Amino acid sequence: MLHLGSFTGPVCQGATRRSFLTAAGTLPWMLGRTRAETVRPVKSVVLLWLWGGPSHIDTVDPKPNAPSEYRGPFATIPTRIPGVRFTELLPNLAARADRFSLIRSHKNSDADHLKAGTIGLTGFAQGADGLAPSFGSIAAKGMHAFKPGANKSGLPGFVATGRGNPRDVVGPCKGYGGGNWGTGWDPFLVGCSPEGQVDLPALTLMPGLTPEALSDRRRLVGALDSARAGFDAKGWAESANTAWNLLDNPEARRALDISRETTKSREAYGTTAFGQSCLMARRMVENGVRFVTVNHFDTVFNLSCWDMHADGGGLNNTYLDYERLLCPQFDMAYTALLEDLQQRGLLEETVVAVLSEFGRTPRINPKGGRDHYPNAWTNFLAGGNIRGGQVIGSTDKIGARPNDFPVEPPQILASIYHAMGINLDTTMMPGPGDRPVRLVEAEPIRQLFS
């Protein structure tokens, strides 16, 4: 069921840089130069963003021979990759480990959710020149798919599940959307409940407002344009128009309506917000959306999430949360997404990336949790032109640092750009003073494609 409610729009704009805003109107830096010759480009990307940072030791890089203060409480199980083991909480992943590539030597430069998240989603830290756009914004813009009407359903090219940007107790992650390009290049938000109800946070009907009155309301919105001085008026207007146009497009409404799925299909993903969001991601890809972000969580405070500090307060996530909620939710939804995409012939043209801003400390803290840790963790990628069933890099015997082949977030982004057919040596975007700069200062991980 699709619920539509009161109109709201973004009213804040990220840091501005003239050259980036100029580039937002045209795409000469992407046209005709985006096909890499070494891979068959994929059509879509699905990013499963595990905000909060899962523990690699308690999921897909267990250390059963480490001292007890490191190894955690869970037993390990074999996977489809010879010699590779996961924890017992991920049986579905273990049975399908030949479908994806693990990167066990991932590292970042910051232990702050917001700063590390920005690096993970853009490949850059925020600096004096402002904020680079996220790779979802770049993908959608470069593939000419953001505006309604650019695909068969009229859906935007960059969609994210949730009611807002991922955030912590301080505020939102700044690298989540359009950055210097403005909020008009932020993802279009779609909310999914555990029951499969869908709402568009950018479009909600006020109490008593009927669909028949929408045209009058739209005229009212137009009349308020002049009152938006100081806001990101262009981004606000684009978000508003996108939402209105979805109302007018029957194919878009059908694509957003999860109730059209069979009960069996919905149950395969799990009756959780994350599971239904993964199902929505499949529907988005099926209907021509180029980049979909599925947020396992929008925040880390006062809820069960991956941010396992066990502090007894608003960040009181423990091993019990991993065992009862987090790992079962992810195990079911992720593998259902891979199976569903494959059965529909979509996996070979879709990259599914599982990323987070950092991992958790190898040593269990005195309260029985694990804290922020940017020095080593695991991410993985599947689908498209990425070869599954391999492990890239490793960590030492207690999971504290990469043993070999350390990988940083820009390399992950470069690999996904490469999978999309973007040649990073010839595809540039304007930087300070209109000087051409690379989309990301890194090279793809070639082992993923060999």
pLDDT single digits (tens) 120-165: 999 999 887 788 999 999 988 876 544 444 566 788 999 999 877 8
CA atoms within 13 A on the CB side of 297: 23
pLDDT single digits (tens) 38-67: 568 899 999 999 999 999 999 999 999 999
Lowest mean pLDDT among 237-241, 315-319, 396-400: 237-241
Q: Which of 53, 188, 120 minimizes the C-alpha distance to 442?
A: 120
Torsions phi, psi of 201, nearest 5? -55, -25
Question: In this structure, is residue 190 part of a structural domain?
Answer: no
Q: How confident is the model at residue 183 (pLDDT cuts 50, 70, 90)?
A: confident
Question: In this structure, is residue 20 part of a structural domain?
Answer: no
Which CATH number characterizes residue 393's domain?
Answer: 3.40.720.10
Which pTM value belongs to this model? 0.86
3-state helix, strand, coil in the chain (%, to 5): 35, 20, 50
Question: In this structure, is residue 411 part of a structural domain?
Answer: yes
Where are the alpha helices (H) located in 258-309, listed in sequence order?
A: 263-269, 273-286
Quote the Cα angle for 116-185-428, to 5°: 75
Q: How many residues does the chain have?
A: 450
Range of the domain at 80: 26-174+269-449
Give the pairing of strands 188-192 and 350-355. Answer: unpaired
Per DSSP, the residues of 84-140 read -EEETT-HHHHHTGGGEEEEEEE--S--SHHHHHHHHHHSS--BTTB-PPPHHHHHH
Question: In this structure, is residue 209 part of a structural domain?
Answer: no
Question: In this structure, is residue 199 part of a structural domain?
Answer: no
Question: In this structure, is residue 104 part of a structural domain?
Answer: yes
Three-state SS letters, 352-401: EEEECCCEECCCCCCCCCCCEECCCEEEEEEECCCCCCEEECEECCCCCC
Question: In this structure, is residue 290 part of a structural domain?
Answer: yes
Number of domain units in the chain: 1
Question: In this structure, is residue 12 part of a structural domain?
Answer: no
Rounded mean pLDDT of 171-183? 90
Torsions phi, psi of 47, nearest 5? -105, 120
